[in-house]
Amino acid sequence: MISGGRLRWNATLLKAATTVDALGRRTNTFTDSGSFRCDIREAAPTEQTYADGVAVTVSYEVRVRWPNVARLGITELDRIEVRGKTLRINGVQNLDERDRLAVIDCTEVA
């Protein structure tokens, strides 16, 4: 279980659109689908080559109570907005399969 005192930040879930364009690809729009309390931790900033230079990507670990993940239906297609950052979800983990704590692995969207 995560302590209530650790849930310092308010996060907003941005759900991915389910509509498709003329080519059958999912449209790149997101809608506000609710909010929840979370704890955010910077995991590791890394440098990688991008186009003609170097880009810095920052990974984050967002800890949330599992009932909020189940209630909002958070998936890897969605985005999370917390503390002014828009985060792409890489994976959602139900820690120890106990349905108490979710650890969401995220990368900042530049």
Give 19-71 pLDDT, tens digit per residue: 888 888 888 889 999 999 999 999 877 777 777 788 888 899 999 999 999 99
Delimit the domains of the chain by residue range: 4-108
Q: Is 5 exposed, middle or buried (0-12, 13-18, 19+ CB in 10 A)?
A: exposed
Share of the chain above pLDDT 90, in %: 61
Collect all residues with Cβ–Cβ distance below 8 Å to 50 and sequence separation of at least 6: none
Q: What is the overall mean pLDDT for the chain?
A: 89
What pLDDT, on a 0 to 100 scale, did the predictor assign at position 45?
A: 78
Higher pLDDT, 86 or 56: 86
CATH among 3.90.1300.10, 2.60.40.10, 2.40.160.210, 2.40.10.270 for 4-108: 2.40.10.270
Q: What is the mean pLDDT of residues 72-76?
A: 94
Lowest-confidence region among 1-5, 13-17, 54-58, 99-103:
1-5
Task: Please name every residue paired with 53 in a beta bridge, in sequence order, or none if there are none.
Answer: 50
